[in-house]
Amino acid sequence: MKSFRKTSIPIVALGAMSGTSLEGVDAAVLVTDGHDITVFGPTQYRRRTDSAFGRFGALFWAKG
C-alpha cells in the first residue's frame, strides 16, 4: 500500500461517482492533510435526467 506524506497546506478534494445503473451522480468535498481527512464538506446527489442517461449510455456502451 502506498503511503502519503502529510502536508502543511490543506488539500481540498472533490469526488464524484455514479453506479452501474446510471440513475444519478453522488459528489462530496473533503479537506485533507494528505494523510487524514480533516474536514468533511458538503455532499450532493443529482438524479439523472432521461437526456443525460442517453449521453452517459452512449459513452459507456459505445463500440470502440
Better-predicted residue by pLDDT, 20 or 39: 39
* Mean pLDDT for all residues in the chain: 82
Tell me the average pLDDT across 7-26. 86
Range of the domain at 21: 11-60
φ and ψ at 17, to 5 degrees? Answer: -155, 160
Longest distance between any two alpha carbons in the chain, whole Å: 46
pTM higher than the cut 0.75: no
How many domains does the chain divide into? 1
Domain-located, residue 2:
no
d(CA 43, CA 61): 28
Q: Answer whether residue 6 shows pLDDT above 90.
A: no
pLDDT for the residue numbered 23: 79
Domain-located, residue 39:
yes
